[in-house]
């Protein structure tokens, strides 16, 4: 889908579908009053001699936010169709409702046969959000609704939507100078999200560690990134005993992928993103129960989000340096698999008693985090579907964020709020370290039932003492279950916003 931005004259604008915003204005008495139109809508309505307001007055457009009404061949307009979208009461228009309205518009557009459409409601604003923010949200909502993953279906594929070109209309007033840049950033971010979603949705028999490495190599070629892939023998030689211990039960070759994007001068220290890339988590010898185990194909979502974020940053030529470090392997039972009680020596030299082989994410991450030190990072952020406990704590709304630096935590919280890809901070107090004590090694890899997400983060904290580091637990947000089962591409929007804001705090 192609996006453009420009000023339009609503009645003279030739398009397959002119999308207008409608909202209810409250009467003095506080009742929902008549429906009103966005500025471009008022102008189009005048040219159409009131045809649009008459349609509204008949009451066919529900007040429910995101409801739509399609009008054909409105006389006086060059547009073939007019799609009215309800934004509800403007006074109550917050981010969530605005996104509902966008989703409603996108869903309606998906079913139309027109190849191009123009969104002409950008004058309807969420208080406190910039014009650029509205452009970004519109792009993300459309791309989200038009995303498909049907390459593995041979029958009953939904027909491809006809819509290929979308214009974001600035009316009234000229196009803001920063609008083109915003658009470029939003499109690149949407590309990164789609990329991460597809990697997540692919089953583990296709999306293996080798497949992830190949996809990273393709990205490197396409966007001129540097890439290095470490093999098992390299990991052995380096002494990554924790990472190697997780892969022992699997026949799939583990990979440690390092992908580097350089958008700033060589001496600018990079942001390093470390992503958990377990392409399937059976639990290993501490085998998981069968129910919903298929969803453990999504256990590489952290890795997918790192690749997606780098793709986005490279695609928009962001003025910063970023490196992705991805430990990728399968967690399988088998004759060679690690067993509960086994003790491994990590790359850092610290020893770990593996009391539960299902707490494997922290084992691959700890060695990757130590490895990341060699890139002299400005900050390190790891992203992992790390604990079921995080889903219990925060559900599917917010990711958990932990940091050994409050300023870094604040930046991630703010970026998440901005991108509406939110996270929420949990404590990383030393008091929790006690739960990781082991009688036989420097630490255990589990800390018992209480505060499971915090003890997992506390484990990682032992490997990042020298760094400014944060950890995002995306176990509840990286994918959806049930009828809508599928990868969300989160937290790509958060990571991209964070990187852009971190590199240039003023924006």
Give contact residues for ligand BES (rule: CB under 6 A).
Answer: 281, 299, 356, 358-361, 385-389, 391, 446, 452, 475
Closer Cβ to ligand BES, 131 or 334, answer by number? 334
Closer Cβ to Zn ion, 281 or 411, answer by number? 281
CA distance 277 to 471: 15
Q: What minimum distance in Å lies between the beta carbon of 360 and Zn ion?
A: 6
Burial class (CB in 10 A: 0-12, 13-18, 19+), 364: buried
Q: How many Cβ atoms are within 10 Å of 6's Cβ, its own excluded?
A: 15
**What is the 3-state secondary structure of 303-344?**
HHHHHHHHHHHHHCCCCCEEEEEEEEEEECCCCCCCCCCEEE
Among 11, 123, 185, 281, binds Zn ion (CB under 5 A): 281
Q: What minimum distance in Å lies between the beta carbon of 278 and ligand BES?
A: 6
282 touches which of ligand BES, Zn ion, Mn ion, none (CB within 5 to 8 A by kind)?
Answer: none
Burial class (CB in 10 A: 0-12, 13-18, 19+), 449: exposed
Q: Does 382 bind Mn ion (CB under 5 A)?
A: no
Q: Do the Cβ atoms of 497 and 140 come closer than 8 Å?
A: no
387 touches which of Mn ion, ligand BES, Zn ion, none (CB within 5 to 8 A by kind)?
Answer: ligand BES
Among positions 324-363, residues that touch Zn ion (CB under 5 A) are: 361
CA distance 388 to 390: 5
In this chain, which residue has its C-beta nearest to Mn ion? 358
Task: Name the helix (H) or strand (E) containing 6.
Answer: strand 2-7
Q: Do the Cβ atoms of 136 and 105 come closer than 8 Å?
A: no
In this chain, which residue has its C-beta nearest to ligand BES? 388
Q: What minimum distance in Å lies between the beta carbon of 236 and Zn ion?
A: 22
Among positions 347-376, residues that touch Mn ion (CB under 5 A) are: 358, 360
| 221 DSSP 8-state letter | H
Q: What minimum distance in Å lies between the beta carbon of 444 and ligand BES?
A: 10
The owner of tokens 């929007």 is 493
For the chain, how far is it from start to end, CA to CA, in angstroms? 27
Nearest C-alpha neighbor of 415 from the set 390, 387, 461, 383 = 383
Closer Cβ to Mn ion, 11 or 358, answer by number? 358
CA distance 236 to 228: 16
Closer Cβ to Mn ion, 358 or 411, answer by number? 358
Q: How many CA atoms lie within 13 A of 83 on its CB side?
A: 27
Query: Using CB under 5 A, which of the segments 16-24, 107-115, 277-285, 446-454 binds Mn ion?
Result: 277-285
Q: Do the Cβ atoms of 330 and 212 come closer than 8 Å?
A: no
**Signed CA dihedral, 190, 196, 201, 205: sign only:** positive
Q: What minimum distance in Å lies between the beta carbon of 304 and Zn ion?
A: 14
Closer Cβ to Zn ion, 16 or 361, answer by number? 361
Query: Using CB under 5 A, which of the segments 44-52, 86-94, 279-287, 416-424 binds Mn ion?
Result: 279-287
Is 248 tagged catalytic? no
DSSP secondary structure of 378-415: SEEEEEE---HHHHHHHTTT-EEEEESSHHHHHHHHHH
Contact partners, residue 279, CB within 8 Å, separation at least 6: 204, 207, 208, 209, 211, 212, 252, 297, 299, 300, 328, 329, 330
The owner of tokens 């540097």 is 226
Facing residues of 342 across strands? 354
Q: Does 281 bind Mn ion (CB under 5 A)?
A: yes
Tally the residues of the chain.
507
Q: What minimum distance in Å lies between the beta carbon of 363 and ligand BES?
A: 9
433 touches which of ligand BES, Mn ion, Zn ion, none (CB within 5 to 8 A by kind)?
Answer: none
| 56 DSSP 8-state letter | H
Among 299, 382, 418, 473, binds Zn ion (CB under 5 A): 299
Q: What minimum distance in Å lies between the beta carbon of 364 and Mn ion?
A: 10
Q: Does 21 bind Zn ion (CB under 5 A)?
A: no
Choice among 97, 288, 339, 468 that is catalytic: 288
Q: What minimum distance in Å lies between the beta carbon of 111 and Zn ion?
A: 38
452 touches which of Mn ion, ligand BES, Zn ion, none (CB within 5 to 8 A by kind)?
Answer: ligand BES
Choice among 260, 311, 362, 497 that is catalytic: 362
475 touches which of Zn ion, ligand BES, Mn ion, none (CB within 5 to 8 A by kind)?
Answer: ligand BES
Query: Using CB under 5 A, which of the segments 1-9, 174-182, 198-206, 271-279 binds Zn ion?
Result: 271-279
Closer Cβ to ligand BES, 186 or 389, answer by number? 389
CA distance 310 to 333: 33
Closer Cβ to ligand BES, 1 or 392, answer by number? 392
Is 288 tagged catalytic? yes
Closer Cβ to ligand BES, 281 or 382, answer by number? 281
Closer Cβ to ligand BES, 108 or 389, answer by number? 389
Q: What minimum distance in Å lies between the beta carbon of 272 and Mn ion?
A: 24
Interface residues with Mn ion (CB under 5 A)? 281, 358, 360
Q: Which residues are marked as active site?
A: 288, 362
Residues that bind Zn ion (CB under 5 A): 278, 281, 299, 361
């Amino acid at each position: 889908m192609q996006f453009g931005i420009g000023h339009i004259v609503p009645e003279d604008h030739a398009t397959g579908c002119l999308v207008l915003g409608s909202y209810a204005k409250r009467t003095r008495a506080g009742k929902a009053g008549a429906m009103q139109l966005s500025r471009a809508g008022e102008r189009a309505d005048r040219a159409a001699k009131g045809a649009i307001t008459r349609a509204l007055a008949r009451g066919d457009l529900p007040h429910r936010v995101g409801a739509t009404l399609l009008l054909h061949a409105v006389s006086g307009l060059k547009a073939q169709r007019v799609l009215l979208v309800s934004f509800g009461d403007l006074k109550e228009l917050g981010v969530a409702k605005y996104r509902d309205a966008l989703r409603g518009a996108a869903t309606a557009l998906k079913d139309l046969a027109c190849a191009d459409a123009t969104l002409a409601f950008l004058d309807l604003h969420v208080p406190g959000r910039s014009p650029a923010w509205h452009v970004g949200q519109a792009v993300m909502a459309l791309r989200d609704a038009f995303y498909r993953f049907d390459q593995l279906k041979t029958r009953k594929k939904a027909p491809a939507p006809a819509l290929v070109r979308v214009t974001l209309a600035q009316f009234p007033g000229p196009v803001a100078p920063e609008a083109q840049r915003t658009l470029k950033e939003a499109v690149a971010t949407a590309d990164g999200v789609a990329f991460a979603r597809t990697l997540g949705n692919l089953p583990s028999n296709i999306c293996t560690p080798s497949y992830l490495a190949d996809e990273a190599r393709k990205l490197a070629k396409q966007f001129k990134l540097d890439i290095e892939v470490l093999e098992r023998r390299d990991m052995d030689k380096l002494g990554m005993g924790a990472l190697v211990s997780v892969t022992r039960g699997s026949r799939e070759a583990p990979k440690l992928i390092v992908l580097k994007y350089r958008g700033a001068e060589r001496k600018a220290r990079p942001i390093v993103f470390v992503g958990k890339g377990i392409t399937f988590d059976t639990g290993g010898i501490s085998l998981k129960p069968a129910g919903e185990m298929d969803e453990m194909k999504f256990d590489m979502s952290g890795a997918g989000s790192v690749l997606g974020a780098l793709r986005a940053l490279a695609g928009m030529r962001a003025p910063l340096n970023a490196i992705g470090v991805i430990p990728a392997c399968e967690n399988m039972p088998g004759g060679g698999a690690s067993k509960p009680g086994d003790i491994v020596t990590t790359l850092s030299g610290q020893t770990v008693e593996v009391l539960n082989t299902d707490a494997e994410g922290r084992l691959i991450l700890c060695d990757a985090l130590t490895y990341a030190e060699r890139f002299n990072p400005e900050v390190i952020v790891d992203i992992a579907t790390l604990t079921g406990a995080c889903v219990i704590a925060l559900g599917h709304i917010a990711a958990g964020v932990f940091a050994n630096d409050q300023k870094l935590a604040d930046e991630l919280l703010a970026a998440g709020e901005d991108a509406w890809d939110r996270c929420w901070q949990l404590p990383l107090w030393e008091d929790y370290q006690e739960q990781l004590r082991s009688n036989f090694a420097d630490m255990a890899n589990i800390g018992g039932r209480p505060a499971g997400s915090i003890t997992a983060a506390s484990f990682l904290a032992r490997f990042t003492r020298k760094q400014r580091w944060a950890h995002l637990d995306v176990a509840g947000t990286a994918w959806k279950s049930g009828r809508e089962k599928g990868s969300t591409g989160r937290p790509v929007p958060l990571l991209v916003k964070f990187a852009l804001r971190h590199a240039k705090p003023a924006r």
